[in-house]
Structure 1
Amino acid sequence: MRGALRQKKLKTGRYSLYIDYYPPVWNPIKKEYTRREFLKLYLHVNPTTSLQILENNLYTEIAEKIYIKRMKGLMLDVNGIFNQDALEGDFFEYAKNFIAGKQREKIDTVHYETAMKYVKKWVGDNLKFRHIDEILLKKFKDFLLTTDSLKSKFAKLKQNSAASYYDKFAAIVQEAFYDRYLTEDYTLRVDRISNVDVDRQIPDDAELQLLLENPCEDELVFRSSMLALLSGFRFSAVKILRWNHLHYSPPLDAWYFQIIDPKPSRSFRQYISKQALEILGERKGTDELIFPDLEYHRTRRILKAWFASVGLEEKGKFHNWRHMYATKLIEEGEDIYVVKTMLNHKHIQTTEIYAKVPAKLRVKASRKANTEHLN
């Protein structure tokens, strides 16, 4: 493994200092091999003032020190020896690049980003790799289980959310170990935060009937809600629907939406019923939004008031339409893998949240448990 400190003349008339590696070296941040590392240090071509001469000498000295440090690190790496200099690296910068890599892979990174916000809330803006060990991981767990939600200082962060954020932080720490920024994988020494069963406040059939008998007066919120109920779309998907997303398949005699689903950021085809099609109303310009001016906070406020008007305020959440859609499919005996596809879930474990035996089926089963010997 060899390298050389070189200069590249720029159009500005200055020289840019860089290290030329040969053969190419692996860049763990960009996840690719590279020949050149530009140091963001620049020299004056023909220094004429004492200040320019001083700058040239200073930047050359800095570049040489960086070069020696890089060559030392590569030598240790080639010989299988951990490079202690890596411990001085900025973990937040590493996490930022880790998340950017996930985004390039079209992976949803919202929970990764939120996890790092909680890390910053806890430790501030300075976190180096040398600070990370099993003690820090345990303390971060304790912090997540006691801290307030970023959404409201009056609400404690829920345990399942804490579990998700810890897992995302641990995944970045583990990747840093694989990239040789840490001497060991500390995540193996610390148990993850366990999830707890949540009693989801979802309207049942009788409550849905009550809502429909007393419909929301806001036509936009009502129609968008009904489409979510009949399609399983999240609010983020309903909001971006345009008329040119809607298509008809003659062989299947079926209507469907073809969109990039915002939450998982991947292509998704969702077939809809004729009842859902009627909710959309009269078709307009191809590029027009189906629900123009649909805004989350306004929708949330109106939805809360609608549900509260029939005594269901705690269940007034837009996402509950999606829960009701999934629960209905399960109750009707639909295969869980079909439900997984209809919800655009990546993992079957996510869909299994809805697969708990519905009360209606449990009541039906209980009536089969009678014994004739008691009669």
Structure 2
Amino acid sequence: MKITLKEKILNTGKISLYLEYYKGSTIDANGKRKHLRTQEYLKIYLHQNPKSTTEKNENKENLKLAENILAIRKTDYIQGKFEMKSTTKAKRSFLSFFSEMVDDREINYSADNYGNWKSAFAHLKKIVPPSLTFDDIDENFVKKVKEYFDSKALTKSNLPLSQNSKVSYFNKFKACLRKAFEDGYLSVNYSVKVKSFEQAESQREYLTFNELQSLAKAECKYQNLKKAFLFSALSGLRWSDIQTLTWSKVRDEGEFTKVNFRQEKTDGVEYLYISEQARQLLGERKHPQERVFVGLKYGMTYNTELVRWCNRAGIPKHITFHCARHTNAVLLLENGADIYTVSKRLGHRELRTTAIYARIVDKKNKEAAGLIPELKIEF
């Protein structure tokens, strides 16, 4: 890559200084050569025709400043090419760098993702001194952080972290180390030096078909909540995708209906066929940009009503809206759908995520429970 200092004359008559990064060229499908260039505008300006001594001195100082920045950029490139640590970057505070990554998640990622990063940062501030720089980081430091999450970190209720919280927070810490290595703050990728925590298998609460039938017959104070929950149980869509579902994403194609949407959690594009009954729950088609489930909001009001609705249906389980998605997976597997199809419908990136539901539906396990002949028990 070639880095050069260039000038651009502005409408104001001043000259803007910028760096051009030339990354070579490619040949497109039409056989035309395309040069790959990017610019970094320095927000440093020169007087086009300096008249006074002051303007000439300003030009001289600003040009020297731009040339110094050019030298730094060239040094950074060389250090990155040969996997050398930037001595300037190495002096940066680790917590400052992590804080920037947290801010980036607030703007560009989901609320859940940002929340996990923010929580991880709150814990790191308890163990990492503000003065600690990348120069101070080594394998022992990484192990010390892991030990903190494993045995010392507490929740707001002063309870030890759950296994999955340990996994999540330590992985955020490792992601920061990996990013720092890629950006030249570290000469060693410490994120691969220490093994992550093992993921704990969480319990998936779900409804049986009979329980879902009871819920469908029971009274619910909010009709949009009832329709949305039953739709999730019949389709497998998450709360976040149902809440933002607009009519433009619902495609009626003859006998079939398909929902085309981008998953809020994974950002993956999905094409999901839904049953006729699931389509009926959506109601009459409206304006393409209008939400299908109008007024559906996440909060204590709906969560409380969901619990009361389950109580009216005689269901003692602790059911949340996400349990409808679990219910969909279990019912599909119980009624003959193969695990690959279920995985695709749920939008899972890894088959092992879907395999959790397969263990719930393990028919052989159920059959084995009655294989031992009945004992004649006397007390």
Do these two structures clear the TM 0.5 threshold for a shared fold by scoring above it? yes
2:15 is aligned with what amino acid? Answer: Y
Q: Partner of 1:28 in structure 2?
A: none
Q: What displacement does 1:236 show?
A: 1.3
Per the alignment, do residues 47 and 144 of structure 1 end up closer, same or farther by CA in structure 2, a change over 3 Å counting?
farther
Query: When the two structures are superposed, what TM-score results if normalisation uses the length of structure 2?
Result: 0.76
Q: Partner of 1:134 in structure 2?
A: 139
Mapped to 1, the partners of 2:101 and 2:61 lie a distance apart of 31
Q: Partner of 2:261 in structure 1?
A: 259
Tell me if structure 1 keeps the 8 A contact 2:245–2:291: yes
Mapped to 1, the partners of 2:219 and 2:245 lie a distance apart of 23
Tell me if structure 2 keeps the 8 A contact 1:115–1:169: no
Residue 18 (1) aligns with residue 18 (2): yes
Query: When the two structures are superposed, what TM-score results if normalisation uses the length of structure 1?
Result: 0.76
Tell me if structure 1 keeps the 8 A contact 2:330–2:360: no
Q: Partner of 1:277 in structure 2?
A: 279
Per the alignment, do residues 233 and 133 of structure 1 end up closer, same or farther by CA in structure 2, a change over 3 Å counting?
same
Residues 1-375 of structure 1: matches in 2 within 5 Å?
3-20=3-20, 34=37, 36-45=39-48, 55-76=58-79, 81-88=84-91, 91-92=97-98, 95=101, 113-121=114-122, 122-123=124-125, 129-130=134-135, 132-142=137-147, 144=149, 147=153, 158-205=162-209, 207-250=211-254, 253-297=255-299, 298-308=301-311, 315-358=318-361, 362-370=365-373
1:13 is aligned with what amino acid? Answer: G
Per the alignment, do residues 21 and 244 of structure 1 end up closer, same or farther by CA in structure 2, a change over 3 Å counting?
closer
1:288 is aligned with what amino acid? Answer: E
Q: What displacement does 1:317 show?
A: 0.8
Tell me if structure 2 keeps the 8 A contact 1:2–1:23: yes
Q: What displacement does 1:219 show?
A: 0.9
Tell me if structure 2 keeps the 8 A contact 1:246–1:256: yes
Task: Give the secondary structure class of the aligned counterpart of 1:351.
Answer: helix
Q: What displacement does 1:283 show?
A: 3.6
User: Gapped runs of 5+ residues in structure 1?
Assistant: 26-31
Per the alignment, do residues 222 and 50 of structure 1 end up closer, same or farther by CA in structure 2, a change over 3 Å counting?
farther
Q: Partner of 1:29 in structure 2?
A: none
Percent of matched pairs sharing the same residue: 29
Per the alignment, do residues 110 and 126 of structure 1 end up closer, same or farther by CA in structure 2, a change over 3 Å counting?
farther
Q: What displacement does 1:366 show?
A: 1.7
Q: What displacement does 1:191 show?
A: 1.8
Tell me if structure 1 keeps the 8 A contact 2:90–2:134: yes
Mapped to 2, the partners of 1:276 and 1:219 lie a distance apart of 15
Per the alignment, do residues 117 and 144 of structure 1 end up closer, same or farther by CA in structure 2, a change over 3 Å counting?
farther
1:242 is aligned with what amino acid? Answer: T
Q: What displacement does 1:21 show?
A: 5.2
1:254 is aligned with what amino acid? Answer: F
Q: What displacement does 1:361 show?
A: 5.7
Mapped to 1, the partners of 2:331 and 2:234 lie a distance apart of 10
2:178 is aligned with what amino acid? Answer: Q
Q: What displacement does 1:129 show?
A: 4.0
Mapped to 1, the partners of 2:327 and 2:308 lie a distance apart of 19
Task: Give the secondary structure class of the aligned counterpart of 2:202.
Answer: coil
Mapped to 1, the partners of 2:70 and 2:20 lie a distance apart of 10
Mapped to 2, the partners of 1:37 and 1:282 lie a distance apart of 52
Mapped to 1, the partners of 2:308 and 2:131 lie a distance apart of 44
Task: Give the secondary structure class of the aligned counterpart of 1:19.
Answer: strand
Task: Give the secondary structure class of the aligned counterpart of 2:174.
Answer: helix
Q: What displacement does 1:160 show?
A: 1.1
2:143 is aligned with what amino acid? Answer: K
Task: Give the secondary structure class of the aligned counterpart of 1:38.
Answer: strand
